[in-house]
């Protein structure tokens, strides 16, 4: 990985950190928020026959984590192309 300048390298890592913080916030909201904090409110709804709060605690958070992995990979590939450090 070779950047054109130190400023590009710092900008790359800054954007990487911003992306990670955003995805970690989503991860926290889905796992802790939907599975624990808002479970009573979410349990008023049903998904696939299960209470939504229970579903988030058991299944939804796992599906969300997998989606976050793909989003991170897609966004990092875009960031690599933007700064010219992508692999051929």
Q: What is the mean pLDDT of each run of 10 residues along the chain (88 residues)?
A: 86 96 96 92 93 92 96 96 86
Are 83 and 3 within 8 A, CB to CB? yes
Segment holding 51, helix H or strand E: strand 50-51
- Give residue 1's pLDDT: 66
pTM value is 0.83
């Amino acid at each position: 990985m070779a950047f054109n300048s130190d400023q590009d390298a710092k900008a790359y890592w800054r954007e990487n950190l911003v992306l990670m913080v955003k995805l970690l916030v989503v991860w926290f909201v889905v796992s802790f928020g939907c599975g624990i904090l808002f479970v009573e409110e979410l349990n008023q709804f049903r998904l696939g026959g299960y209470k939504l709060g229970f579903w988030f605690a058991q299944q939804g958070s796992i599906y969300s984590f997998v989606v976050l992995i793909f989003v991170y990979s897609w966004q990092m590939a875009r960031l690599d192309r933007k700064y010219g450090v992508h692999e051929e």
